[in-house]
Amino acid sequence: MKTKITLKELAKLLNVSVSTVSKALHDSPEISPKTVERVKELAKLHNYRPNPVAVNLKSSKSGTIGVIIPNISNTFFAKVLSGIEAEAQRLGLQVITYISNERLDREKQIVDRLTSGFVDGVLIAISEETQRKKEYDHFYNLVEYDIPVVLYDRININLPVDKIGIDDERAFDEATQLFISKGLEKIGLATSIHHLGVGKMRITGYKNALPNDKKTFIANSSRPEILREKIEKMLLKDKIEAVLCTDFESTMQVYRTAHELKIKIPEDLKVVGFMNKNVAAFLAPSISYIEQFPEKIGQGAMDLLARRLQNYPKEAMTSEKIISTRLEHLESTVF
Amino acid sequence: MKTKITLKELAKLLNVSVSTVSKALHDSPEISPKTVERVKELAKLHNYRPNPVAVNLKSSKSGTIGVIIPNISNTFFAKVLSGIEAEAQRLGLQVITYISNERLDREKQIVDRLTSGFVDGVLIAISEETQRKKEYDHFYNLVEYDIPVVLYDRININLPVDKIGIDDERAFDEATQLFISKGLEKIGLATSIHHLGVGKMRITGYKNALPNDKKTFIANSSRPEILREKIEKMLLKDKIEAVLCTDFESTMQVYRTAHELKIKIPEDLKVVGFMNKNVAAFLAPSISYIEQFPEKIGQGAMDLLARRLQNYPKEAMTSEKIISTRLEHLESTVF
DNA sequence: CTGAAAGCGCTTACAG
DNA sequence: CTGAAAGCGCTTACAG
């Protein structure tokens, strides 16, 4: 077993002081070129790497950032994490992952951990329960401890921090407009996330797009059986001609229910879903969907945080960044 | 802005030494009950929490573990991470996430990072490229630095470390047996991961289950268009009656292709897929699948690692743990 | 150009 | 029962 070599050991081998070694490795102009060379050579030979924990203690930085993820099984969040991780690597930062499972108590625990100095900054998508109960006090602890926070995706929340997400309202407004422009009269919406900020925004986009003379049809429930019933009612009784889905679950429910009721997509029903290509393209028929570019959101979130880590006091203003979505047309919106 | 209070500051406020405060907070019997009480009270008042970086430096532990994930968009791995994170929380460990994107060079970089002292141990699922090239040297660095490693999921690899995964061979053997017992003659397999260890094991299970007089039918490609063609050939020319799929992609391809060719599932074709319930149950028809319990794999991996972290030298033998799978019957295997 | 010293925030063996 | 000292591995202002 190899054991990690330390500055002290290098110094002894070279018959110089620890300070000289440290300075040499940092290319300090104080040190003679000859010494620098000797030191670096030996360091390389022994594959010396500074102990990050010691460096962190000295600099009172941890060199890591925390990411709070509400639900990692959601491919969207998994991909956001991927974007964060890639950008963090580029910046030389480590990513510590925390999963709240959409629960407020877990989120509080996590934030408590975070304030004890594990991380230099935090990226957060706020849990569902937290949003439902509107209890944001714990986040102010982070602010008080001067730990920069960036909210990602779930940004429709009144906290004085940087934010990055998509324009949920516009995406659904545009998708609804599309149906209207094709002359459809009865346009519905299915959602299992109507209590989330992002869900509300999407519903608002849909409603705003509908002219006053057009009725809204909304099937909403976070309980699968109920959602399924409401979708069935929309399809059979309301006889909607098109439906927008705000999330993966509702999209799959619409797909399955239409099939069971022998309602043909796209002939009898146009569908715009919210899911990733991996699934959308292989359904039969394939389902058009709103593409979100989660990796970009992750990368952007990391960049916003990195800016704060560099010169926090200088920039007082918080910024909000929006990543555009795109409606990807597959078979379910063929007219 | 609150700033974190240190031992030194507490000591000054209390007019005692830093050592006394530290000992009191650890309930040392050396300290008088009265002092312990005073110290704890003030610590609580100021919400004192020890600086983890300093504690780590002292103990030469980092209190964190690394997890290498080949592809986080794969729900299986996302859920494994969830299991790891939950167990790590319970054990008071932090999880640093690294994503290799199935690439050898990224994996090498990550391992390099890991050997510089960021983590106390590592959980690894080896990347696809690494397995293809059979280049495992970089992992031996971890072993040399005495950093415990646990392989999860992709465990069919000859490295002297603890492992946890599923019994891929048996799962596919049993699923194949099921079809045989129902009197089916032509049983095929579709895969996009035949170059991965787990893929090979699944194929072996399928082959082993088939009696000598039965032909094998295998559609394999990691390129979607090619896989699609091969599946089409199996369905149209070979006229297989049942098909096993080793992964999400091949399952979706079979589902979609059967639909396009107007081959009815399950009447004309029985299907056992490899995917998660979230999707499987909402397809039309729903697709029976092999359930893997990824959270359990994550939890088990973390536990194996925790054991090593506690008493590494004592236990020389490496262990291999298998988490049972279960065939979940939905509509695609109705006889 | 080199090195001794102080210090980051903690823990713990040792002295009193 | 309390405290001074050493040390974890580094960095850096200061002295020589």
What is d(CA A11, CA A249) in angstroms, rounded to the nearest whole number?
A: 61
Task: Cite the DSSP H helix spans in chain B.
Answer: 7-14, 18-25, 33-45, 52-59, 75-91, 104-113, 128-133, 137-144, 168-181, 197-209, 224-236, 248-260, 277-280, 294-311
The answer to whether residues A159 and A304 belong to one domain is: yes
- A58 CB inside 7 Å of strand C: yes
Residue A33 contacts B, CB cutoff 8 Å: no
Residue A284 contacts B, CB cutoff 8 Å: yes
Whether B2 is covered by a domain: the verdict is: no
Check A78 against B95: CB less than 8 A apart: no
What is d(CA B33, CA B30) in angstroms, rounded to the nearest whole number?
A: 9
Whether A27 is covered by a domain: the verdict is: yes
**Residue A25 CA to C4 C1' — how many Å?**
19
Whether A2 is covered by a domain: the verdict is: no
Whether B223 is covered by a domain: the verdict is: yes
Nearest-CA residue relative to C1' of D13: A19
What is d(CA B276, CA B252) in angstroms, rounded to the nearest whole number?
A: 12
The answer to whether residues A135 and A103 belong to one domain is: yes
Can you name the residues that pair with B94 across neighbouring β-strands? B64
The nucleotide whose C1' lies nearest the CA of A30 is C1
Report the residue of B95, B140, B282, B332 to disrupt the A interface, i.e. the one with the largest count of A CBs within 10 Å. Answer: B282
* Residue B37, domain extent: 7-50
The answer to whether residues A149 and A286 belong to one domain is: no
The answer to whether residues A143 and A31 belong to one domain is: no
Report residue A135: phi and psi, to 5°: -110, 95
The answer to whether residues A181 and A145 belong to one domain is: no
pLDDT for A190: 98
pLDDT digits (tens, 9 = 90+) for B189-213: 999 999 999 999 999 999 999 998 8
The answer to whether residues B172 and B258 belong to one domain is: yes
In contact, A179 and A187? CB cutoff 8 Å:
yes
Whether B55 is covered by a domain: the verdict is: no
Check A62 against B72: CB less than 8 A apart: no
The answer to whether residues A309 and A288 belong to one domain is: no
Whether A56 is covered by a domain: the verdict is: no
Residue partners of B133: CB distance under 8 A and separation at least 6: B104
What is d(CA A187, CA A240) in angstroms, rounded to the nearest whole number?
A: 6
Nearest-CA residue relative to C1' of C5: A19
- Nearest Cα of chain B lies from the Cα of A319 at a distance, in angstroms, of 21
What is d(CA B162, CA B166) in angstroms, rounded to the nearest whole number?
A: 14
SS3 B311: helix
CA-nearest residue to B258 within chain A is A284
What is d(CA A220, CA A161) in angstroms, rounded to the nearest whole number?
A: 31
Within 13 Å, how many C-alpha atoms sit on residue A15's CB side? 0
Where b means 16+ CB within 10 Å and e means fewer, B126-156 reads: bbbbbbeeeeeebbebbeebebbbbbbbbbb
Residue A248 contacts B, CB cutoff 8 Å: yes
User: How are the residues of chain B apportioned to helix, strand and coil, as percentages rounded to the nearest 5?
Assistant: 50, 15, 35
CA-nearest residue to B251 within chain A is A282
What is d(CA A297, CA B91) in angstroms, rounded to the nearest whole number?
A: 31
Report the residue of A75, A89, A99, A263 to disrupt the B interface, i.e. the one with the largest count of B CBs within 10 Å. Answer: A99
In contact, A208 and A173? CB cutoff 8 Å:
yes
The answer to whether residues B110 and B187 belong to one domain is: no
The one-digit pLDDT tens for each residue of chain A (335 residues) are 677 889 999 998 999 999 999 999 998 888 888 889 988 999 999 989 999 899 989 988 888 999 999 999 999 999 999 999 999 999 989 999 999 999 999 999 999 889 888 899 999 999 999 999 999 999 998 888 889 999 999 998 888 899 999 999 999 999 999 999 999 999 999 999 999 999 999 999 999 999 988 899 999 999 999 999 999 999 999 999 999 999 999 999 999 999 999 999 999 999 999 999 999 999 999 999 999 999 999 999 999 999 988 865 556 688 999 999 999 999 999 99
Point out the residues of chain B with pLDDT beneath 50: none
Closest C-alpha among A74, A85, A97 to residue B98 = A85
pLDDT for A265: 96
Check B4 against A144: CB less than 8 A apart: no
Whether B56 is covered by a domain: the verdict is: no
Residue B4 contacts A, CB cutoff 8 Å: yes
Q: Which string of DSSP letters, residue by residue, matches A102-162? A: T-HHHHHHHHHHIIIII-SEEEE---HHHHHHT--HHHHHHHHTT--EEEES---S--SSE
Whether B1 is covered by a domain: the verdict is: no
Q: Two tokens at A198? A: 């992002």
What is d(CA B250, CA B227) in angstroms, rounded to the nearest whole number?
A: 8
The answer to whether residues A80 and A191 belong to one domain is: no
The answer to whether residues A150 and A98 belong to one domain is: yes
CATH of the domain at B173: 3.40.50.2300
The answer to whether residues A184 and A299 belong to one domain is: no
The answer to whether residues B233 and B316 belong to one domain is: no
Check B96 against A95: CB less than 8 A apart: yes
pLDDT for B139: 93
What is d(CA B118, CA B327) in angstroms, rounded to the nearest whole number?
A: 40
Count of structural domains, chain B: 3
**Hey, how many other C-beta atoms are within 10 angstroms of the C-beta on B292?**
23
The bases of strand D with some atom under 7 A from any protein CB are 1-5, 7-14
Torsion, Cα of A115, A121, A126, A130 (10° steps):
20
